[in-house]
């Protein structure tokens, strides 16, 4: 009888270990998928953000060259101050718009990147509840 109890205990223990291993393996696969999705989203977001930075740099460089071209045509100190004031005002407005756009893009990238992780955590807690 002791032998049967020991065998039964060993079989149940082995079953639990197999079940636990399958659950862990399934969780690892799910986690891998979520991490791949998160990494892909983050990579795309970073590429979009960097592309936007390059476009901003190009736009600012073009504005600076235009300003320099206009400076070559200045005939008086008054023209210089008017041109400089107009350029600085325009650059300030442009900088404000660019900053707002980059902030919005950065927030979107962060939200989109975190979303798969948030969904997985919520799904995990819903399973446990």
Tell me the domain boundaries of the chain: 2-128
In this predicted structure, the answer to whether residue 117 has a pLDDT above a threshold of 90 is no
Question: Model confidence over 67-104: pLDDT tens digits?
Answer: 999 999 999 999 999 999 999 999 999 999 999 999 99
Query: For residue 46, what pLDDT is reported?
Result: 92
Greatest alpha-carbon span in the chain: 112
Query: For residue 128, what pLDDT is reported?
Result: 58
pTM: predicted TM-score of the whole model, two decimal places: 0.70
Helices (H), strands (E): how many in the chain?
2, 0
| 7: Cβ contacts below 8 Å, ≥ 6 apart | none
Query: For residue 120, what pLDDT is reported?
Result: 75
């Amino acid at each position: 009888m002791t032998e049967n109890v020991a065998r039964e205990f060993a079989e149940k223990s082995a079953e639990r270990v197999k079940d636990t291993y399958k659950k862990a393996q399934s969780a690892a696969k799910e986690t891998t998928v979520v991490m791949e999705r998160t990494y892909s989203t983050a990579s795309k977001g970073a590429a979009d953000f960097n592309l936007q930075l390059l476009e901003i740099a190009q736009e600012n460089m073009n504005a600076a060259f235009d300003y320099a071209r206009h400076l070559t045509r200045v005939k008086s100190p008054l023209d210089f101050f008017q041109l400089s004031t107009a350029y600085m005002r325009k650059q300030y407005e442009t900088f404000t718009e660019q900053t707002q756009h980059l902030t919005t893009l950065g927030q979107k990238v962060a939200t989109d990147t975190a979303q798969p992780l948030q969904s997985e955590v919520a799904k995990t807690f819903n399973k446990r509840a």
